[in-house]
Amino acid sequence: MPSNILESYEPLKCRVCGADLLAANRERSGIIVFEKDLKSKDVDKFVQCYAVCKGDCDETAKLHFVSKENVTYWEDLDDLQIPYYFLKEVIAVINGLHSGKTIYDNNCLEELKSILVRISQNTLRDQTKEELNRLKSLVALPDWL
Ligand SMILES: [Zn+2]
């Protein structure tokens, strides 16, 4: 049962077949794939990331979407739904950006954030009624406060 982090449930769709990789009754496990630009020698530069089913969909996506000159890394979506491991991943992204050793193309970072937000539905607890009410006033505050 996903938590009420988002106003309504957002599936994490496989880039190839569209299956929801977070569904409790899913038939196949998924992964997040990161494509690393091998031309960037001094930093780890990621040019795209996406979610796919393990196996056939992963192979299809690599063939069609990933440059032959680059390499891919992956993270297991079942592992990322373990709360500690999810937090570790978020902290690792922050540390990588802070150190300057990791950079993401804009689209890649947006996609990664979108994937992490969707995964959070299965890793964070439900917000109480009081918290949801408090959130209404928090998000109504301007950013500069
Ligand atoms: Zn798939």
For residue 109, report the distance from its CA to the centre of ligand 1, in Å. Answer: 22
CA distance 14 to 20: 6
The amino acid occupying position 48 is Q
Question: What pLDDT, on a 0 to 100 scale, did the predictor assign at position 27?
Answer: 81
Q: How confident is the model at residue 25 (pLDDT cuts 50, 70, 90)?
A: confident
Length of the chain: 145
For residue 52, report the distance from its CA to the centre of ligand 1, in Å. Answer: 5
pLDDT in tens, 35-47: 999 999 999 999 9
For residue 3, report the distance from its CA to the centre of ligand 1, in Å. Answer: 24
What are the sequence ranges of the domains in the chain? Answer: 30-140
CA distance 12 to 20: 5
Burial (CB < 10 A; 0-12, 13-18, 19+), residue 39, is: exposed
Residue 145: is its pLDDT beyond 60?
no
For residue 15, report the distance from its CA to the centre of ligand 1, in Å. Answer: 7
Residue 24: is its pLDDT beyond 70?
yes
Is residue 24 within 8 A of residue 70, CB to CB? The reply is no
Residue 64: is its pLDDT beyond 70?
yes
Over range 93-99, report the average pLDDT: 97
